[in-house]
């Protein structure tokens, strides 16, 4: 048996593999279940105990050597395949690297910010985990307001006074608390609502809210700013309509619609046959909100507005399902690779 081991070891060391067929033949002869090494191990079980002590170590070394050689041959075959596919020509250009692209929501959000920056707005950010005062109390929400219900708000379990912000108006409260008028600020960011996820709704989405506080600010000032935004975002022929509405933190309050038209079936479906599409809420800041934030409502007035980034993106890109924005599907995201923002 020792002679068989030595003979196989010599054969393994002298074997040269230069093709896929030769590699397969090597495996069949030495390392497969029906190979010669397994045959030796089967024979090893029948030899006397004193012989086992003599041939056991050489037999294990033979097996190890056979598998080491197999790995060498496999690596050689892999390198040969790579070389055939990609020759080692150092004068060739390097591997192409696909440039990243902005997310469609980032493109839209940046465009919104850019429009308002041209008329003097700055950007402010704040925490996504807020306390009740900044998210509700300072904004004139009564204690029994439906938005405080667990069905609409994600509360932080260990701190019942804290929650995931439901709007970026909380950032505006912080700005008013820490800055004297005049104030002209945007607060973009992600917000959270305890809603069922569907093609038309999600438990998180993105907002851009605006706030202007100064002396003698009027509803007409707000309408002029929002008309400018609509033209910059949707084109020179954009028309807006302000409808009466209600928000706890503004008085008077309004919903703003943009004329979308009725040229296609999609237009009828999107506008419910009216030709108008709602894009944001707005209004004059309630005097109680100003007082809560340390601003004298007898001296200053202001307006506020807020829009959903996903809503604007739906209009610009006609994306049929909100969930696409957060699924990281490259087939969807690559469509926006050449867009700016």
- pLDDT, one tens digit per residue, over 243-270 is 999 999 999 999 999 998 888 887 787 7
39: pLDDT strictly greater than 90: no
pLDDT greater than 70 at residue 127: yes
Beta carbons of 281 and 256 less than 8 angstroms apart: yes
Mean pLDDT is highest, among 7-11, 46-50, 223-227, for 223-227
Q: Which residues contact 124 (CB under 8 A, 6 or more apart)?
A: 171, 172, 174, 175, 185, 186, 187
Average pLDDT value over all residues in the chain: 88
pLDDT band for 139, please (50, 70, 90 cuts).
Answer: very high
In percent, the amount of the chain with pLDDT more than 70 equals: 93
Structure tokens at 338: 């050449």
pLDDT for position 20 = 84
CA–CA separation, 107 and 54 (whole Å): 75
Q: Where are the domains of the chain?
A: 2-85, 104-336
Closest by CA position to 207, among listed 113, 284, 301: 113
User: Which of 75-84, 223-232, 297-306 has the weakest average pLDDT?
Assistant: 75-84
Q: What pLDDT is stored for residue 109 in this prediction?
A: 95
Q: Quick one: what percent of the chain has pLDDT higher than 90?
A: 45
Selected residue with higher pLDDT from 237 and 82 = 237
- pLDDT of residue 34 exceeding 80, the answer is yes
- Per residue in 277-287, pLDDT (tens digit) is 899 999 999 99
Q: Is 3 exposed, middle or buried (0-12, 13-18, 19+ CB in 10 A)?
A: exposed
- Model pLDDT, residue 123: 97
Confidence grade of residue 150 (pLDDT, cut at 50, 70, 90): low
What's residue 155's pLDDT?
Answer: 84
Are 248 and 286 a contacting pair, CB within 8 Å?
yes
For residue 130, what pLDDT band results from cuts at 50, 70 and 90?
very high
Instruction: Determine the Cα angle at 319 with ends 316 and 322, to 5°.
Output: 115
Other CB atoms within 10 Å distance of the CB of residue 34: 8
Q: What are 67-112's pLDDT values in tens digits? A: 998 899 888 888 777 665 555 667 767 777 777 778 999 999 999 9
Domain 104-336: homologous superfamily in CATH: Bira Bifunctional Protein; Domain 2 (3.30.930.10)
Predicted model pTM? 0.68
Q: Residue range 25-53: average pLDDT?
A: 84
Q: Which of 20-34, 142-156, 277-291 is least confident?
A: 142-156
Mean pLDDT (whole number) for 217-237: 95
Whether 334 and 130 have beta carbons less than 8 Å apart is answered as no
- Residue with the larger pLDDT of the pair 85 and 189: 189
Over 70: is that where the pLDDT of 158 sits? no
pLDDT tens column, 315-332: 888 888 888 898 888 888
């Amino acid at each position: 048996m020792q002679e068989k081991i030595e003979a196989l070891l010599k054969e393994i060391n002298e074997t040269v593999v230069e093709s896929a067929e030769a590699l397969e033949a090597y495996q069949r002869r030495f390392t497969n279940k029906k190979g010669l090494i397994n045959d030796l191990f089967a024979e090893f079980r029948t030899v006397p105990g004193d012989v086992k002590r003599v041939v056991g170590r050489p037999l294990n070394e033979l097996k190890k050597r056979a598998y080491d050689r197999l790995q060498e041959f496999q690596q050689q075959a892999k390198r040969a395949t790579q070389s055939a596919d990609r020759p080692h020509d150092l004068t060739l250009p390097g591997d192409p690297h696909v440039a990243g692209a902005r997310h469609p929501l980032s493109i839209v959000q940046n465009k919104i910010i850019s429009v308002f920056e041209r008329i003097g707005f700055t950007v402010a950010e704040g925490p996504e985990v807020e306390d009740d005062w900044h998210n509700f109390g300072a904004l004139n929400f009564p204690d029994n307001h439906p938005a405080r219900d667990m069905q609409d708000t994600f509360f932080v379990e260990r701190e019942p006074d804290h929650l995931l912000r439901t709007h970026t108006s909380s950032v505006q409260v912080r700005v008013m608390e820490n800055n004297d008028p005049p104030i002209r600020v945007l607060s973009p960011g992600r917000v959270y609502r305890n809603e069922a996820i569907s093609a038309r709704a999600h438990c998180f989405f993105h907002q851009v809210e605006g706030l202007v506080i100064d002396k003698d600010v009027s509803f007409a000032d707000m309408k002029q700013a929002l008309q400018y935004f609509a033209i910059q975002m949707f084109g020179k022929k954009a028309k807006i309509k302000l409808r009466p509405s209600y928000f706890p933190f503004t008085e008077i309050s309004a919903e703003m619609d943009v004329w979308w038209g009725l040229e296609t079936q999609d237009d009828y479906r999107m506008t419910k046959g009216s030709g108008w599409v709602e894009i944001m809420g707005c209004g004059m800041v309630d005097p109680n909100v100003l007082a809560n934030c340390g601003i004298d409502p007898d001296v200053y007035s202001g307006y506020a507005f807020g829009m959903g980034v996903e809503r604007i993106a739906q209009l610009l890109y006609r994306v049929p399902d909100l969930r696409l924005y957060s699924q990281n599907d490259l087939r969807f995201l690559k469509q926006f690779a050449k867009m700016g923002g």
